[in-house]
Amino acid sequence: MKFFVDTADVGKIKDLAETGMVDGVTTNPSLVAKTGRDFSEVIAEICSIVSGPVSAEVAATDAPTMIAEGRKLHNIAENVTVKVPLTVDGLKACRTLSDEGTMVNVTLCFSSAQAILAAKAGATFVSPFVGRLDDIGSNGMELIRDICEIYANHTAFKTEILVASVRHPMHVVESARLGVDVVTIPPSAIRQLYNHPLTDKGLDAFLKDWAGTGQSIL
């Protein structure tokens, strides 16, 4: 399972990339806006840090403009993945851009039916939002389970499932159990993955015992 980091904060991306856990990056207009920087410059810098797919979202809502924006975004770097919404126009743009060889991430997926449409449109990735479904009392991971089953039954579908709106470690663990292709995780949730009180307690005990020996490895 691939780990994408869900942020436009270049500093955090650099820090996490050093762990070797970052296979790609997802951004959206809200995340880029938080940086206060030029959109294209941010995407270009992220692409220079991470060799894997970097999702950059279009701002238009009609297919012709989405396609034009998508082409411009693709020209920033080879690893740019154009992000389009799961609307009729978004799917039209997805088909055109995919046919041109551009990676496309169809985002804001909230149903299995929508995931089928994304695959039919030739999406590289489909992004179901599990956290937002949980927020309204639905079970986000049930949607992931359904999409996994549907895609497994239709080998002609080449679209990868990219679990988005991840809120906590169990979203990641459940995604791994279901065999999804990618999870995109905010930096805060990535750090939660390796935090455990018994790890901290064990390390503290080891360090105290070592200090008692008066020795030094270096």
pLDDT tens digits along 61-108: 999 999 999 999 999 999 999 999 999 999 999 999 999 999 999 999
36 is written with which tokens?
Answer: 């206060």
Q: What pTM value is reported for the model? A: 0.93
> Helices in 58-161 by DSSP H: which ranges?
63-74, 88-99, 112-120, 130-135, 140-153
Question: 178-202 burial by CB neighbour count: b if 16+ within 10 A, else e?
Answer: bebbbbbbbbebbebeeeeeeeeee
Q: Count CA within 13 A, CB hemisphere, residue 81.
A: 26
| Amino acid sitting at position 31 | L
DSSP label at residue 4: E
Catalytic status, residue 208:
no
Would you state the pLDDT for residue 106?
98
Cβ–Cβ under 8 Å, residues 166 and 186:
yes
191 pLDDT more than 90: no
14 is written with which tokens?
Answer: 């650099």
From 2, 72, 83, 92, active-site residue: 83
Cβ–Cβ under 8 Å, residues 123 and 115:
no
